[in-house]
A = this chain, B = another copy of it.
Amino acid sequence: MKLWQSENSMDKDIEEYTVGNDCLCDQSLVEYDCIASIAHAGLLLKMKIITLLEHKRLVSGLNEIIRLNAAGKFKITRKDEDVHTKIENWLTKNHGTAGKKIHTLRSRNDQVLTALRLYSKDGLAQVKEQAHDLIETLGKFAKKTKGIAMPGYTHMQRAMPSSIALWAGAFEESLKADIEILEMAIWANDENPLGSGAGYGLPVKIDKSVTTKGLGFSRHFSNPLYVQNTRQKVELATLFSLLQVMLTLNKLASDLMLFTTKEFGFFSLPKSMCTGSSIMPQKRNYDALEILRGNLGAVSGNFYAVLACASNLPSGYNRDAQLGKARLMESLDIALKSLKIARKIIMNIEVNRAALKAANSEGLYAAQRAIKMSLEGVPFRDAYKIVSKSCQ
């Protein structure tokens, strides 16, 4: 039964349409919601709204839920409405009055924000770690291939002499910049929403630092409506930081798709990392690279879905926000898995030195010849024209 119902009388179609698959997402929030509730119980104890005994029961109940959930035994179904309702009902059933008190000075509005921010902070930290690992792998790859020349391209045409190491280094740098954006997203999530209630605060003063410290937030909110209004803005900050990571990986995958064609032939991957064709016996396809490349589109779509659901709506909680939850979670998952697979791919690249040597064509050095002349006193534009003629 829902928290706000005196009797279970909700229209079934409306219920199904409204909840949708949200209960699947909420399963991923169980642990975070319990951790947040433990911190909130600490506040209620401090304010003497619950007794020491009730506090003990709530904390042990919530830890029990975390254990049950880890064991796959705390399943949220559509009729539970959401994770918050399910947990309160479980606590009330198993711990009586203590359960009935846990929602004091709290709304599901600040509760879901808290769980989502804890979830996002965790996810972003993992993405950051994977980004660091990929940087390390790229560094090793650059070292391993040190000195191997590769053409540098502009407009997809051979342009200037480059090297595998320079190419790999570009992605190291790109990921370092991405990590800075991930930090920005972590910062955006790092504000404690507890105490904002339904978006208009509480009729009694509370010590926000209790839950802020307890949950490891670096700051607490100062205007309760602001907190609600930024639900999707913060989600977009998270998604944007993931987009930056995916843009880096998309370019990596686009390059590799080109470099592994028969025509370029610079790189290949071992057979165990390729797929075949159901009809063409000779094929070796790089499907993982294509999925890596395509996942930028997936995260882009998720970004837009959240943006669209946030546009042109007035202040205060609007249920449309729920639709971003699955997209946020999927995007964190995609970024994490994509970084891992990119690392595995880089570790297994087989370099075809002969093809790279053959590609190291004369024309690549034209600019260097002009620049050399310019250093010897010929005005650059004149040097350019002299070399240009010799290229025709």
Contact = CB atoms under 8 A, between A and B. Distances in A.
Interface string A306-325: 11111111111111111100
A74 interface: no
A285 B389 contact: no
Given A233-B244, A323-B297, A283 B381 contact: no
Question: A-side binding surface: helix, strand, loop or mixed?
Answer: helix
Interface in A250-286: 250-251, 254-255, 257-258, 260-265, 271-273, 275-286
For the complex of A and B, 6 pairs with smallest distance between CB atoms? A301-B305, A4-B276, A294-B320, A297-B308, A100-B379, A290-B319
B181 A279 contact: no
A167 interface: yes
Interface stretch (A29-37, A63-71, A118-126, A148-156): A148-156
B153 A315 contact: yes
A298 B323 contact: yes
Contact of A291 (B162, B293, B319): B319
B226 A368 contact: no
This chain: copies in complex: 4
A154 B197 CA distance: 11
Interface string A87-104: 010001000010111111
A170 B226 CA distance: 4
Nearest to A323: B294
Interface residues of A, number: 171
A177 B225 contact: no
16 contacts: A10-B273, A18-B287, A49-B374, A104-B374, A107-B280, A152-B200, A154-B317, A160-B200, A170-B223, A170-B226, A232-B247, A255-B314, A262-B359, A281-B366, A282-B388, A297-B309
A230 B374 contact: no
Contacts of A162: 200, 225
B101 A374 contact: yes
A6 B272 CA distance: 12
B272 A11 contact: yes
B313 A251 contact: yes
A202 to B, nearest CB: 7
Contacts of A195: none
Interface stretch (A129-137, A209-217, A337-345): A337-345
